[in-house]
Amino acid sequence: MLRIQVLHGPNLNLLGTREQSIYGTQSLDALDSAISKLAKELSVKVDLRQSNSEGELVTWIQKARSKYDGIIINPAAYTHTSIAIRDAIAAVGLPTVEVHLSNIHQREEFRHRSHIAGVAIGQICGLGPTGYLLALRGLHDHLTTSLREKKTAAPATSRRTARGTRALRSRSIDRVQSEGSIE
């Protein structure tokens, strides 16, 4: 079963009451329930956490290395400031999808820059809570495809080796036959 860590950054605990015209009316609990429901349908184990602290998010990303196959993160305001979160994602090397409820590229200029995008496999923004569900589907597809590729990589190598062995064998048969014909 695939395991995905979902992390929400600062102020996302206020969803539902916070700047509703930008972030909508859905609470974080309702959002987490929708993510968990889809995870169940996809047979993915999810762990969902929110923190207002940059250090705590960094620690959770570091710990995810041994426990999870991928990360979905809305780093919220840390998106635009945190080299530490970027470095943590790069360090663990887990496929990571960056999510934002609002379209950060349409908002104030300081939100246009993401320190996370460069280490993420993709970024989804502007689609509200649906963005998290798309991120889950996208990361699930990404992980199942790379697992499948890893599984087929080994037999492909042995097929190549088998072909190589057959070719070698038939070359030596040719040699024997041609040596035979010399005699």
Active-site positions read: 23, 100
Contact 61, 18 (CB under 8 A): no
Contacting ligand DQA within 72-91 (CB under 6 A): 74, 76-77, 79
Please report, as a single letter, which amino acid is at residue 33.
Answer: S
Q: Does 124 bind ligand DQA (CB under 6 A)?
A: no
Q: Does 105 bind ligand DQA (CB under 6 A)?
A: no
- Nearest approach, Cβ of residue 31 and ligand DQA (Å): 11
Order of all β-strands in the sheet with 122-125: 44-50, 2-8, 70-74, 96-100, 122-125
The residue (of 5 and 74) whose beta carbon lies closer to ligand DQA is 74
Q: Does 96 bind ligand DQA (CB under 6 A)?
A: no
Q: Judged by CB under 6 A, which stretch of 87-95, 100-108, 133-141, 165-173 contacts ligand DQA?
A: 100-108
Please report, as a single letter, which amino acid is at residue 180.
Answer: G
The residue (of 34 and 77) whose beta carbon lies closer to ligand DQA is 77
The residue (of 5 and 79) whose beta carbon lies closer to ligand DQA is 79
Pair of tokens at residue 171: 């070359």
- Nearest approach, Cβ of residue 92 and ligand DQA (Å): 21
3-class DSSP state of 20? helix
Site string for ligand DQA, 45-74 (x = CB under 6 A): -----------------------------x
Q: Does 117 bind ligand DQA (CB under 6 A)?
A: no
31: nearest Cα among 60, 8, 9, 54: 8
DSSP for residue 44: E
Q: Which of 100, 124, 133, 136 binds ligand DQA (CB under 6 A)?
A: 100
Q: List 46's β-bridge partners, or say none.
A: 4
What is the spatial distance between Cα 176 and Cα 172, in angstroms, rounded to a whole number? 6
Residues 6+ apart with CB under 8 A from 119: 86, 89, 90, 96
Contact 138, 97 (CB under 8 A): yes
Q: Which of 2, 11, 65, 138 binds ligand DQA (CB under 6 A)?
A: 11
Q: Does 104 bind ligand DQA (CB under 6 A)?
A: yes
